[in-house]
Amino acid sequence: MRTTSRKKPNPKKTNERPKTIPVTHTFIVKRSDELLNFLLARFEGKLSRNSVKKLLSDRKVLINGSMTTQFNYPLAKDDEVKIAKNPVRTAPVRKNAPQAAVPSIKPYIIYEDDEFLAINKPAGLLSVESDKDPNCAYAMAAAYLKQKDARSRPYILHRIDKETSGVLIFAKDIRIHSMLRMHWNEDITLREYYAVIQGEMEEPSGQIVSFLKENANHLVYVSKDPRGKKAVTNYEVEKSNDRYSLLKINIETGRKNQIRVQLNAQNHPILGDDKYGLVPSPINRLCLHASALEFIHPVTKKPMRFYAPVPNEFRQLVK
């Protein structure tokens, strides 16, 4: 599998920040379907077929943040469908006024074939849009694929935190996506990360096992309650100095904020983690990078490995 080493990502800034779109409903797709059939099922007994069609013709339906009027738009598992309160339209552009544009994803592509698009996501960019921030890697991937083929679209396989950089993969084929998502955790053979932490671990390598729960403010914490979600993190100290340590990490479970929470509970927070560790970073970013992801191809049964080089800044911190 080919890989490409690139400079530290620095996504282009747009001149206008997209405004948050008020919505009335949000749905998460559980299995592959066509958009109209999905909406009819969601609004059964509440809206007539014509009323559901009108939502589309009135430009009120968004898929992963992008508006569509296409009745047979192919939905995949984990897609997010939103119903906007008002029609979503492109604002008229004044003469000589700056236009907002989706940044190009091309500088971050590390692999592409007929079935997959893999990027080295820069830190500070969401995987998928949120209510507060519509800028995301998904929108960049969608715009890129649409330029090549108006009928194509990316399908979400997984996510990484906004503050984390590294490997992010989209499927380009809905059949492959569905097969992978059915057994995603079983098919993944490697989830590798690198992190720069405060201080030195007590052991040069080890395994952290804990139960994670989430509070009302959506913050994850370590609990002794076995009813929490079990999280397993393996680490190896690659290099350290009197202030910081660079860890190579392999997680066996993919829990929300797992690495950040568990390392903070060990009194070795990740540098730049302003959500859990509250430790400043000399390089002004969260020092966590998704360096490699490997899974078994659902058809060929061959391992697919994607790699994004560890940022040079991480190694400089532990010189």
307 and 201: one domain?
A: yes
161 and 190: one domain?
A: no
Q: What is the pLDDT of residue 2?
A: 46
User: SS3 for 168?
Assistant: strand
Pick from 179, 209, 238: which residue ends a domain? 179
Mean pLDDT of 216-224: 92
Pairing relation of β-strands 165-171 and 288-296?
parallel
- Contact criterion met (CB below 8 Å) for 188 and 252: no
228 and 291: one domain?
A: yes
- Domain range for 249 is 184-317
Instruction: Report the domain count for the chain.
Output: 3
Instruction: Tell me if 60 is assigned to some domain.
Output: yes
Say if residue 95's pLDDT is above 50.
no
57 and 140: one domain?
A: no
Instruction: Tell me if 92 is assigned to some domain.
Output: no
Q: What is the percent of the chain where pLDDT is above 90?
A: 69
Which one of the listed residues 78, 161, 187, 273 is annotated catalytic? 161
Q: What is the pLDDT of residue 286?
A: 97
161 is an active site residue: yes
Output the six-digit token pair for 225.
Answer: 């309650």
Pairing relation of β-strands 303-307 and 244-251?
unpaired
Q: What is the mean pLDDT of the chain?
A: 88
Say if residue 15's pLDDT is above 70.
no
311 and 220: one domain?
A: yes
Instruction: Tell me if 89 is assigned to some domain.
Output: no
Q: Which of 186, 218, 224, 175 is nearest to 77 (CA)?
A: 175
Q: Which residue has the higher pLDDT, 275 or 93?
A: 275
Instruction: Tell me if 158 is assigned to some domain.
Output: yes
What span, in angstroms and rounded, lies between the C-alpha atoms of 51 and 36?
11
Pick from 179, 213, 240: which residue ends a domain? 179
211 and 279: one domain?
A: yes
190 and 312: one domain?
A: yes
164 and 71: one domain?
A: no
**Per-residue pLDDT band at 4 (split at 50, 70, 90):** very low
196 and 137: one domain?
A: no
175 and 188: one domain?
A: no
Tell me the per-residue pLDDT of 186-209, one tens digit each, with 9 for 90 and over: 889 999 999 999 999 999 999 999
Q: What are the CB-based long-range contacts (under 8 Å, 24+) for 124-130?
A: 124/11, 124/162, 124/163, 124/285, 125/11, 125/162, 126/162, 127/156, 127/158, 127/159, 127/160, 127/162, 127/168, 128/64, 128/65, 128/80, 128/156, 128/159, 129/64, 129/65
265 and 204: one domain?
A: yes
175 and 189: one domain?
A: no
**Per-residue pLDDT band at 11 (split at 50, 70, 90):** low
What span, in angstroms and rounded, lies between the C-alpha atoms of 283 and 263?
19
**Per-residue pLDDT band at 19 (split at 50, 70, 90):** low
